[in-house]
Structure 1
């Protein structure tokens, strides 16, 4: 049974969180409860108010209990009246927040600063939170940087940037090949393809835009579809060089065309979020000493690569997980990356994903708020939402 906390006490409890007490179908186990204002922050922490919090595929995998990263349960006995034995998990990994209070010992942060979360599974689907100063990064205030861009800059844009940066030294004019080029998802363990393909996380689109900003050229593969021409135009407007369907991978003329497009230059970086036969065929397009980087498995099929690619072409295959990158890098390195991405966004070189904001009003009861979130997730996983969904909570 879903976890249903006590009735919200209007005019007293002004904050709200979307939570679950056990793993399961997110459209069934999620609920909402309200809690009193936060106390002043303890030393080395800050209180924040969330501005926008995306719903990502990996968030749902976490709720389902099939994702490698696990959240920490949180108790709200003093604020919810639920008793000391009641603890819940707050949904959400990514989001934009605004600092409301700064604790002693915290430097570099002030009230009203924008911040993003760098601690995995910190729980962003709520109105307010007390967080450690080491678990957040200040977002540089730049003209042209929107709330949506800032709220979605923690996962997908850095995934795209790091895959382009960390495995092969690429120069202007070099080529990159990727599948899932309109990819809706970076999640490793999404439970079905439809779910994966209808989230607008857009790692593939971020790859196209970041590559274009560096003068790199991209060969992009997508699933066949009725609106293919529309999709091709969309990706080319973002900076894609060539866009083909997976059917082209079986066409013997592709290699000849590719040699003409690249001027004979070998492709040394391939990005994979699909797996299966499509990736096997794509890997054959890579040149000598190339690197294939996998960050997802939307087909749910294993990655199968011919031994000849390793023996005769010296192929190297990697896996990439942005959460691991955060755990291995210093705060200075994290900050440099976020500043770089914010600059690209402010200059219009990295656009906000197509999105829809779902507002959770303070006037709604906990039952109504929980039902609204469950219904949105059910529609999203059912393919009825083709846009990235962000939650916006009101405490007024």
Structure 2
């Protein structure tokens, strides 16, 4: 009799515990993740591991990552050469698009099934699943293609802000940029076209130069010249049909940047956002004394932090998304690569060749 009563009491308790354990098992997600435990070359330190992802906390959103690009900044972060230094071990990747799976109890802005992009740096997007806070995500429309959505948060805002924040540009004004065939450079030419601005692009000489010039002009460039043409004394004469540039965008540095500064109009501004040549920007003295040219730098990560939750950021993303959906903007050429083939994609990113840089997206 006693044993029967004991079984009646214990059996439901054990069943409830078993059910609770099984529920935890079914709700816990195992995420494939590209992790590094020390800084170094990606081929040496990146590992594909499986990590358990817990249920989202009250203010968190569980996201299934759909696509995440490999950017130069991602490589530099892994190497430990970038200002953003996530605590180790860390998941690689700063940019990506995903789908909401579940939300915490206090989350108001997001619902299951919505598309979102990660808008904060250093959170780790090279994985299949992750929890993010509401403030770390931005909702985007489903009709936006995956490649454009995955690359929305770094290069388009860089181009957008440099054109908006340093010189008041009106329709018909002109800008000049080096690295014109880079991912940012291509967005710059397209935004200039959308806003009625003239743009001059500078590229390195190459066998398929005319093909590249045609491509950039189709994007919106008013004129495309080589670094060698830029260095010639009569370059201003060749560009005489265009107004003197009021803004110069520099991602190369060295003599290229100095030559570009000489073409700026009085009180023009040069904005440096990269240094691909790894050579310092040499400022021509006459540009400072006689033309009052200004020189400054821009880092989109800093801008995004300063404008977190502010209307300027929301307005910018709304306009960029609209441009992508209407076909006024298109991203750089890309290739989608399975997460397990990350070694090939990372190696290809480090050795990008061709007319325009191809973006690899995991």
TM-score normalized by the length of structure 1? 0.81
Deviations 1:64-98 (A, max 9, x none): 1111111134xxxxxxxxxxxxxx21000000011
Q: Which residue, out of 21, 30, 51, partners 1:35?
A: 51
Match of 1:250 in 2: 231
Relative to 1, partners in 2 of residues 1:247 and 1:384: Cα closer, same or farther, differing over 3 Å? closer
Match of 1:56 in 2: 71
Match of 2:196 in 1: 215
Contact 1:156 1:203 in 2 (8 A): yes
**RMSD, aligned α-carbons:** 1.5
Q: Which has the higher helix share?
A: 2
Task: Mark the runs of 5 or more structure 1 residues left unpaired by the alignment.
Answer: 1-11, 74-87, 184-201, 361-368, 392-396
Match of 2:37 in 1: 21
Match of 1:339 in 2: 318
- CA drift of 1:30 comes to 0.6
Deviates more, 1:378-387 or 1:106-115: 378-387
Match of 1:193 in 2: none
Task: Mark the runs of 5 or more structure 2 residues left unpaired by the alignment.
Answer: 1-27
- Larger RCO: Structure 1 or Structure 2 (Cα < 8 Å, ≥ 6 residues apart)? 1
Measured in 2, the distance between the counterparts of 1:149 and 1:257 equals: 36
Match of 2:111 in 1: 110
Contact 1:28 1:374 in 2 (8 A): no
Contact 1:13 1:34 in 2 (8 A): no
Match of 1:5 in 2: none
Structure 1 residue runs of 4 or more that deviate by more than 4 Å after TM superposition: none
Relative to 1, partners in 2 of residues 1:373 and 1:384: Cα closer, same or farther, differing over 3 Å? farther
Deviations 1:185-207 (A, max 9, x none): xxxxxxxxxxxxxxxxx000000
Flag the structure with larger Rg: 2
- CA drift of 1:15 comes to 2.0
- CA drift of 1:50 comes to 0.3
Match of 1:121 in 2: 122
TM-score normalized by the length of structure 2? 0.88
Q: Which residue, out of 75, 80, 87, partners 1:72?
A: 87
Match of 2:346 in 1: 377
Contact 2:109 2:134 in 1 (8 A): no
- Tell whether 2:325 aligns with 1:354: no
**Map 1:268-283 → 2, pairs under 5 A:** 268-283=246-261
Contact 1:276 1:299 in 2 (8 A): yes
Relative to 1, partners in 2 of residues 1:125 and 1:204: Cα closer, same or farther, differing over 3 Å? same
- Tell whether 2:187 aligns with 1:206: yes
